[in-house]
Amino acid sequence: MASRNNVQNTHISRKLRELHGALIEIVSVMNRPQRDEQMVREAGISLDRALFPLLVMVERLGPIGVVELADRAGRDYTTVSRQVAKLESLDLIERRGSAADRRVREAVISPKGKAMTDRIDAAREKLGRAIFESWDEHDFNELVRLMRKFANDISGDIGGSATKPQEEGD
């Protein structure tokens, strides 16, 4: 007779494989160039597709150094450094010395960049609402709660900086 623990482990292994497959599918869709082009088009902005995710990350995570930005984007440091310089030349971000380490220059969103990411957020909300329009509120809330929990746990697991989920009204 198989122990309950072995049955549980088999179930978890199967579900982890299913979860991994779903995550690969989600990341694949989100990393498609057409997805970024759709978002840029929907937002009504003019921005090189390669710069789009970096601008959003600077807005969400900034102030942020180029090394961390490159690591999070999964790109080479020198490539991201050139792209950050381009964002700065477009007045979408500003560079300044780090308060923690003056040798590090960090990128922060500029007012013009913030206006652009606000338009991107509005486009993302419109597209997201279309995806989730058939979901009931409880399922949507559970997805958000569990994804935040997963993001916090996986970030902590790889030595990243897990962000505290915002409470409603923050």
Domains of the chain and any CATH numbers: 32-157 (1.10.10.10)
- Look at residue 160 in the predicted model and tell me its pLDDT: 43
Q: What is the pLDDT of residue 5?
A: 61
- d(C-alpha 18, C-alpha 10), whole Å: 12
Q: How far apart are CA 48 and CA 100, in angstroms?
A: 31
The residues, ordered by sequence, that sit 6+ positions from 59 with a Cβ below 8 Å of its Cβ are 109, 113, 114, 117
For residues 72 and 15, give the distance between their C-alpha atoms in angstroms, rounded to a whole number: 27
Residues 6+ apart with CB under 8 A from 152: 162, 163, 164, 165
Question: Please, which residues have CB within 8 angstroms of residue 33's CB and are 6 or more apart in sequence?
Answer: 49
pLDDT tens, residue by residue, 159-169: 444 444 443 33
In whole numbers, what is the pLDDT of the chain averaged over residues? 85
What pLDDT, in 10s, does the model give residues 37-52? 888 888 899 888 889 8
pLDDT of residue 7: 59
- Determine the pLDDT at residue 169: 39
In 3D, which of 70, 66, 54, 136 has the Cα closest to residue 96?
66
pLDDT digits (tens, 9 = 90+) for 141-156: 999 999 999 999 988 7
pTM metric for this prediction: 0.75
Predicted confidence at residue 3, as pLDDT, reads: 56
Tokens representing residue 126 in the block: 């419109």
pLDDT at 60 > cutoff 50: yes
> If pLDDT is split at 50, 70 and 90, which confidence band does 84 have?
very high
Residue type for position 107: A
User: Which pLDDT band holds residue 62 (cuts at 50, 70, 90)?
Assistant: confident
H-helix or E-strand spanning residue 114: helix 111-132
